[in-house]
Amino acid sequence: MDIKMWINGKEVKGEVAPETLLIDFVRSKGSFSVKRGCETSNCGLCTVLLEGKPVLSCSTLVARAQGKHVVTLEGIQKEALEIGLFVADEGAEQCGFCSPGLIMNMYAMKNELKNPSDEEIKHYLAGNLCRCTGYMGHMRAIRKYLDAHQEVSHEDRK
């Protein structure tokens, strides 16, 4: 089947088998930040944004992305660096295994949620496995990151 989508703002096309996973297609197009981790949709290492929403690309058929926009870490490098600094400042950056999915989810939260509850934040983290921390550092980093961007939004309105 023929497939067309936008990866990080660039139109890409290809011929794929119907059972092709999104992870395999985006990697074939040069988005190597998207990695396999657990192969069971539990670790979040393969998280990408599909039309702005986080999805696990290891369990998403590429056909679901037909005609849509996909964003990977390569597409948000500046934002990923900023998010990484918030995570590191809170001591939540240890082995780095969970970082790709965590960063993608934090970016999505900033764009989608306004003043999220802890439960809403935990919903975004449900697909991210962290092997090193108890998620408290992540929660602090997320809160500080979202608060910083909430303040910017308020200043822009003045």
Please count the helices (runs of H) and the strands (runs of E) in the chain: 5, 5
Per-residue pLDDT of 34-67, as tens digits, reads: 998 887 888 889 999 999 999 999 999 999 999 9
Tell me, which fold does domain 76-157 have in CATH? Answer: DNA polymerase; domain 1 (1.10.150)
Task: Give me the residue spans of the domains in the chain.
Answer: 2-74, 76-157
- The predicted model scores a pTM of 0.88
What residues are paired with 47 via a beta bridge?
Answer: 56
Question: What is the second-level CATH architecture of the domain 2-74?
Answer: Roll (3.10)
- The residue with greater pLDDT, 114 or 5, is 5
Mean pLDDT of the chain: 90
Per-residue pLDDT of 117-135, as tens digits, reads: 999 998 878 878 887 777 8
Task: Answer yes or no: are the C-beta atoms of 38 and 105 closer than 8 Å.
Answer: no
